[in-house]
Amino acid sequence: MTTEGTAVAAVAGGRGAPGQGDPYFPLAGNGGYTTRHYDLDLSYDPATRRLDGTAEITARATQRLKTFDLDLSGLTVHRVTVDGRTARWTRDGQELVVTPRETLRAGASFRVEVSYGGVPQQVTDPDGSPDGWIATDDGAFVAGEPQGAMSWFPGDNHPLDKASYAFRITVPTGYTAVANGVLTSQRSKGGKTTFRWNQPQPMAAYLATATIGKFDVQRYTTASGIPVYNAVDPREAADAAPALAQLPAILDWETRTFGPYPFSAAGAIVDHAPDVGYALETQTRPVYDRAPGVGTVVHEMAHQWYGDSVSLTSWQDIWLNEGFATYAEWLWDEQHGGQSAQARFDGYYARPATSSLWAFPTADPGEGANIFASPVYTRGAMTLQELRTAVGDAHFFTILKSWARAHRYGNGTTAQFIALSEKVSGRNLGSLFHTWLWTAGKPAQP
């Protein structure tokens, strides 16, 4: 059957697809609708590790829908309504299958409300890392790349579907709940404190956080007018101070290098979560599992442009996030009295052909287990250095800025990045990208 035939069958059946069709994570996201806004009302008790929530999702049907899916793993669903009317639902692995009382027309806007609760279970990624709602000794470290968002709220869990978010998080007084964007209120009553956060620019589900702990909070506004909110576990405060002190300088430098900062708030969440093993560029306010160095802050903040504002379209293109954020670290060093990016390139290039750096081509990791490996990060950054060498600094820095501008708040693909690079530089870059992005093994001496 042709693709068209399949699509027609899907419309006739009225069943939204259970995934976005991502080859690495086939069930991530869903078909048949796009989300516009998430309103997440959560309460968490660090003592019992219980999360209770209501998620209200505003969406638009892109086909006729008799049933559609949300992604949700674990937890217990109490009730689902669509446009205020109770809907039928079933659970099937990570799919919450919803059948509204009335079939939704193609193009119809609708509102789903899911009330749910339980002890969230973190997701284990193909590479073995914990992901999602990760309980800590004083709350929870919440980071969802690539799959973990579904461990704490129902939604369309693929970066293709971005939406605005509002959070209302209630915790016992004394704990701080930190999400994305701007803190709009904080009120204590009866031993509980409710934090409201607002993230108006589009965000991929994996970039949402609701990290909870006993934190020292630091707030200020940068000279350029960006409100900063840092939450720091006191056990990490001394070690984190030097890098956090650089945050305004990093924001200014990245704004000069990449173009206007895409969001209306910034900051850092420095937790004490030694078992996590990574930081994540949660939108506006990255989460760090321990005190970060300056390089890590440069990396996570660079993701605000590359990864968060400009999101990937398929997880296979993860180098568009990690290669760029890694290259930002190289550039920062080069422009702050450290090694040049070319010297870094040369150092890595000297690695033997048997090195894991050359284990697979940058833009073809082959499977989800490889998306956070060195051919994505380091060889991805090397690809950008090769591009810079080929087109010269003026074109190269124009390309970086144009990429951020052209796909701001949206998604991009590797093919679009290559096309943009060729357009800006007026060069045919096919063989450079073919070698560095797509060819297995160590590239021949450039």
**Which residues of the shown chain bind ligand ARG in the complex (CB under 6 A)?**
125, 127, 129, 131, 145, 278-281, 299-300, 322, 372
List Cβ neighbours of 311 (8 Å cut-off, separation of 6 or more): 159, 160, 162, 204, 410, 411, 412
The residue whose Cβ lies closest to ligand ARG is: 129
Q: Which is nearer to ligand ARG, 329 or 386 (CB)?
A: 329
Shortest CB 259 distance to ligand ARG, Å: 20
CB of 185 to ligand ARG, least distance (A): 30
Q: Which two structure tokens, joined as six digits, stand for 140?
A: 């929870």
In this complex, which beta carbon is closest to Zn ion, that of residue 254 or of residue 322? 322
69: partner contacted, choices Zn ion, ligand ARG, none (Cβ within 5-8 A by kind): none
Residue 160 binding partner per list ligand ARG, Zn ion, none, with a CB distance cut-off of 5 to 8 Å that depends on partner kind: none
CB nearer to Zn ion: give 104 or 325. 325
- What is the distance between the alpha carbons of residues 102 and 85, in angstroms, rounded to a whole number? 9
Q: For the stretch 269-288, what's the b/e string if a residue is b when 16 or more beta carbons lie within 10 angstroms of its beta carbon?
A: bbbbbeebeebbbbbbbbbb
Closer to ligand ARG by Cβ: residue 125 or 333: 125
**Pairwise CA distance, residues 315 & 27, whole Å:** 13
162 versus 299: smaller Cβ distance to ligand ARG: 299
The position carrying tokens 């704004």 is 255
Secondary element (H or E) of residue 9: helix 3-13
* CA 269/CA 230 separation, integer angstroms: 6
Question: Whole-number minimum distance, CB 292 to Zn ion, in Å?
Answer: 12
Residues 310-329, interacting with Zn ion (CB under 5 A)? 322, 325
| Minimum CB–partner distance for residue 307 and Zn ion (Å) | 7
Least distance to ligand ARG from the beta carbon of 321, Å?
A: 7
When asked if residue 143 is in the footprint of Zn ion (CB under 5 A), the reply is no
Which positions ≥6 away from 377 have C-beta within 8 Å? 322, 323, 325, 326
Q: Token digits for 429?
A: 């870059």
Nearest distance in Å: CB 280, ligand ARG = 5
Residue 280 found at the interface with Zn ion (CB under 5 A): no
197/324 with CB nearer ligand ARG: 324
H-state helical runs in 291-370: 294-305, 319-335, 341-349
Q: Which residues bind Zn ion (CB under 5 A)?
A: 322, 325
